Structure 1
Amino acid sequence: MEKEILPEALHKAIEHISKLPGYGEKSAQKFVENLLKLPKGESIDTIRALLDMLNKINPCKECGLLTEHEICNICSDENRDKSIICVVEESFDAFAIEKTGKFKGVYHVLHGRLSPLEGITEKDLNIPSLVKRAEKATEIIIATNPTIEGEATSTYIYNLLKNKDIEISRIAYGLPFGASLENADTFTLSKALEGKRRI
């Protein structure tokens, strides 16, 4: 009955948005409501920006960071120390760390974290290329989020790399357990980087 009352265009928009991770039907409905409340020109600009993003953004071929280029600005920067790799779950975690200005190495984006309950295994993550990159590294800093899944991912990576001649550290808990890097403030992230510990 509800589907008959709801205009088909609205139903389709909500259905597609609710398929995004982290979005349910209610949050998808709120997104659509807010978009429709904008002046039409602004909402069209928003949709055009999203289309532009989909056409231009891709993962860096070296580290997986979201970029408009084949190789991201960090990997192509000759001043970055490529022997130090900071492993993060998502690109926005790396962007948050960059704001601190404290890290001068490069990143490796996993594009997720281990989560058996969601059916996410090591095969779904950008792990094989990390093992390959680790061959030329002197230090790996694991900066997965301080959650149960983040810890499981950290432990998995540590076990993969522990027999290599490489220093492995875990980002310190200047961050509260259960928090995400992209939502942390710059000071907290700076302290977390400074307090990284060897695993």
Structure 2
Amino acid sequence: MPMLRTWIAILGAAAVTGALVFSQTAHARAPITLTVAQASGECSVSWKKEGVAFKALTPGSGPSSFAFSDLVGTVSADLAYANDPVLLARSISITATFKGGFTLTDGSGHSLQISDGQGTFPFGGSSYLVKTTANPAGTRIPVYTYADLPLPAPGIPSLLPPKVNVKITDAKVNVTPEFANALNDTFGSGTAESGTPFGSCSGTATT
């Protein structure tokens, strides 16, 4: 009988351990990365300098905004949080390349243009090909960083196959040190400082 009781105890412990392992596996994280099928977005530029004119290469919804086009990228999300919108939103990251930008010009013939963006949300920011009067071939530099990040609004229209929708609204952005230097070199010292509010960006992506 003692031996029988020992085997029963061992088997019982094994069953409990197996149940715990199954439970942990059933609730394991399930991060996935999906290709963006459709996307749209734009940035509204609040930064201004007297005598410097803004012209969008790809016009947005307002006179000082530019739209994204030809966006190619991925959306990563943790589908273990499919029933928790807040945790799902915090698990999302987006990496993309896109067309769009703007040109700044002044009355003396100085100009600065940004185009061909690359960005990562929520960490990082966006870099662009920046062409200036002194550097017409252009150099890729970081243009803005995120200053005030709203949580994206996520949706999962399908788990099998997995599909994710993401909407980002009014993400505030600031001027980077590199872009501030480019503005100062083009339009004169004191034109911009690192950390100056630059504007806000919004967009949607569907995988």
Per the normalisation by structure 2, the TM-score is 0.25
**If each structure's strand is expressed as a fraction of its own residues, which one has the higher value?**
2
Per the normalisation by structure 1, the TM-score is 0.26
**If each structure's helix is expressed as a fraction of its own residues, which one has the higher value?**
1
Larger Rg: 2
